[in-house]
Amino acid sequence: MSSAPHELPRRRVIALFLIFVLFVGLIGYRVVAVQVVRSGEFSRWAVAERLRENVVPARRGEIFDSRGVRLATNVPANRVSAIVDQIEDPVLTAQQLAPLIGRAQADIQAALAEPDLEWVVLARQLDPETSQRIELLRLPGIVLDPEPSRIYPFGGFASQVLGFTNYDLAGNYGVEGQYDDVLGGVPGRLVGERDGEGNVIAVTQSTWDAPIDGSDITLTIDSAVQHAIEEILAEVVEEQDALGGTIIVQDPNTGAILGMASWPSYDPNAFVDVTDPATFLNPAISAVYEPGSTFKAIVMALGIDTGVVTPEMTHNDEPGYVELPDGSRIYNFERAVWGTETMTQVLERSSNIGAIFVANRVGRDRFYQRLLDFGFGQPSGVDLQGEESGILTLPGEEGWNDALPYTTAFGQGIAVTPLQLINAVSAIVNGGKLMEPYLVSEVRNGDQVTAREPEVMRQVISEASSATMREMLASVVENPESPYPTVEGYRIGAKTGTAQIPSPNGGYIEDAAITSIVGFGPVEDPRFSVLVKIDWPKTGETGLAVSGPAMTRVFEKLFLLYGIPPDTGEETETP
């Protein structure tokens, strides 16, 4: 029994020795695992930490109008983020950041409390002043990173033409989307060995691939014209309590778009606030509609060019309707009966029966082939994202019926985009050349400049037919019985249209219409083609009443802006 006191310390010594041996063994195992078994893995990790790759963003090209006005540019900006586990006081942090970054305090606190998040972005593209105020707060865990911001100096001006860039400066819609590769450039790459602070060690080997900056783009859009048509459009839409509308101004001789405005619009600086993505679309190229009587200008041009009618040729529209193969009847507007009338009067009076007479004389197959030649039923090729083809149902295709050759003659049963229609009218008055419409006139990268040359797609009518059509469309405005508004001192030609709106359930919506007008001027030497389209006006009923006065105001602005002298009616002698 006397040996028991010595037995207990001995057992403790053995236990401590075994623990020591186990501890040394574990250390040894870790050393072997790190230096031998996983040495390659840790070596690669260490190299990756030292040799880090940084993407260096390229400068995005700027966008200018035809007068050199900057429409899209870049400014310095910052992104503010939080390293969650470094936030000492989430409530105080949220309280101080909320008024600066435009987020509710509760929203910021919720973001900082998200489970499993180490890093959270709180706001993006903050201006330098706001960034400096955040920096002065010296909040633990709050980090500012530079990220360039795209700015549109005039807000919603020409927004559906320009499009916008997202937070990563990728182009969306409009010119920004169509020319994203040209504007965006190519990012650079920096790979180098870093010190503990993350700086590149100068004496070590590094790789530097410089970014290639994006090119600047000059548009055919004239800001003075754009401002004028946006203002006129907004006033008409408000006066008519309309759903929206579009105005386009084109140079008929080149195809260049001088102005393209649609309503409703949006501010590309605040694209995140847009709740309906359809607002981003450009109705001038993406909204299809039945053109109504404006299409009679196209039909008459086909009749004149094929030689089946002349301006003085007459027809008799009695009894005031045309009976279709199925027994249904087509009447003139308000069931008017004009009796004997010339082809010029068919345009002046906007006779449905007269337009059908012309289309029938052209002949069905030739009629549809010539409409294809004018670009209907296919994209115009304009350099914008989101263009629609329109609808032109050909004989034998799905949806064809025997009534279509009749209704198409006065602009029903065919659907066009506003740009398709104005481009076709430009061809009628410019000598018969269908031009490819375009909005970018020049791409500049440093000293290298690529200019866009006007492109003739095809001759759709002869020069003689074009000259005849100019006078016939001028007579629509100038004849003694014409109610069309005129521009004092100038000759213009035009054709109106009042189109019904198809119902999703078939037929047409009652008391709903699209009113429009297409025009050109001056008649002798056309400089401008103009289209005004108003969607579902609530007060005016016809294209003449709603869109006619707006077109007159557009021409008044154009003649003034471009210094075009009035027509005195006197011939000038050439010295």
From residue 115, how far is each of 89, 95, 97, 118, 558 by CA, in Å?
A: 17, 20, 21, 9, 61
Fold for the domain defined by 49-74+151-219: Penicillin-binding protein 2a (Domain 2) (3.90.1310)
The string over 226-240, giving b where at least 16 C-beta atoms fall within 10 Å of a residue's C-beta and e elsewhere, is bbbbbebbeebbebb
Q: Distance between CA 389 and CA 40 in Å, rounded?
A: 59
CB 332: neighbour CB atoms within 10 A? Answer: 20
The CATH number that domain 223-561 falls under is: 3.40.710.10
Task: Give ranges for CATH 3.40.710.10 in the chain.
Answer: 223-561
For the ranges 141-150, 280-289, 440-449, the lowest mean pLDDT is seen at 141-150
Segment 481-532, tens digit of pLDDT: 899 989 999 999 999 999 888 888 778 888 889 999 999 999 999 999 999 9
What is the pLDDT, as a whole number, of residue 149?
87
Asked if the model's pLDDT at residue 36 lies above 90, the reply is no
Q: Residue 265, CB half-sphere, CA atoms under 13 Å: how many?
A: 28
Q: Are strands 78-83 and 119-126 parallel, antiparallel or unpaired?
A: antiparallel
Contacting residues for 88 by C-beta, under 8 A, at least 6 apart:
140, 141
Structure tokens at 536: 């579902």
Whether the per-residue pLDDT at 104 is higher than 90: the answer is yes
- Cβ-based burial of 21 (10 A; exposed 0-12, middle 13-18, buried ≥19): exposed
- Mean pLDDT value across residues 51-56: 56
Q: Which residue has the higher pLDDT, 111 or 55?
A: 111
Instruction: Give the confidence band of 53 by pLDDT, cuts at 50, 70, 90.
Output: low
CATH class of this structure's domain 77-147: alpha beta
Using DSSP's 3-state secondary structure scheme, residue 507 falls into: coil
Per DSSP, what are the bridge partners of residue 517? Answer: 496, 532
Q: What percent of the chain has pLDDT over 90?
A: 69
Q: Give the integer Cα–Cα distance in Å for 170 and 149.
A: 11
Pairing of strands 528-535, 508-521: antiparallel
Instruction: List for the chain the helix, strand, coil content (%; round to 5).
Output: 40, 25, 35
Q: Tokens 């909204």 belong to which residue?
A: 287
- The 10s digit of each residue's pLDDT in 408-417 is 999 999 999 9
Rank 186-190, 194-198, 265-269, 316-320 by mean pLDDT and report only the highest.
265-269
pLDDT recorded at residue 436: 98
Q: Can you read off the two tokens belonging to residue 509? A: 């919506």
Look up residue 146 and give its amino acid: P
The pLDDT assigned to 407 comes to: 95
More confident residue, 463 or 116: 463
Q: What are the residues whose beta carbons fall under 8 Å from the beta carbon of 535, sequence distance 6 or more?
A: 242, 243, 244, 245, 514
Rg (CA), the chain: 35
**HSE (side-chain half, CA atoms, 13 Å) at 225:** 26
Q: Which residues are identified as catalytic?
A: 293
Say how many C-beta atoms besides its own lie within 10 A of residue 55's C-beta.
Answer: 10
DSSP notation for 509-573: EEEEEEEEEEEEE-SSS--EEEEEEEES-SS--SHHHHHHHHHHHHHHHHHHHTTPPP--SPPPP
Q: What is the pLDDT of residues 193-251, one digit of tens each?
A: 544 444 444 445 556 677 788 999 999 999 999 999 999 999 999 999 999 999 999 99
Return residue ranges of the chain for CATH 3.90.1310.10.
49-74+151-219, 77-147
Instruction: Give the C-alpha separation, 132 to 126, whole Å.
Output: 10
Task: Give yes or no for a contact between 257 and 220, defined as CB atoms under 8 angstroms apart.
Answer: yes
Strand-pair category, 440-445 with 216-219: antiparallel
Q: What is the reported pLDDT for 212?
A: 86
- Tell me the per-residue pLDDT of 562-574, one tens digit each, with 9 for 90 and over: 999 998 655 444 3
d(CA 56, CA 184): 13
Pairing of strands 448-451, 440-445: antiparallel
* Per-residue confidence (pLDDT) for residue 550, from 0 to 100: 96
Dist. CA 460–CA 301, nearest whole Å? 10
Average pLDDT of the segment spanning 297-305: 98
pLDDT one-digit tens code per residue, 452-475: 999 999 999 999 999 999 999 999
> What is the pLDDT averaged over residues 285-312?
97
Per-chain mean pLDDT for the chain = 88
On the question of pLDDT at 143 being above 70, the answer is yes
Is a pLDDT exceeding 80 seen at residue 83? Answer: yes
- State whether residue 205 is helix, strand or coil: coil
Q: What is the pTM for the complete model shown?
A: 0.83
Structure confidence at residue 56 as a pLDDT band (50, 70, 90): low
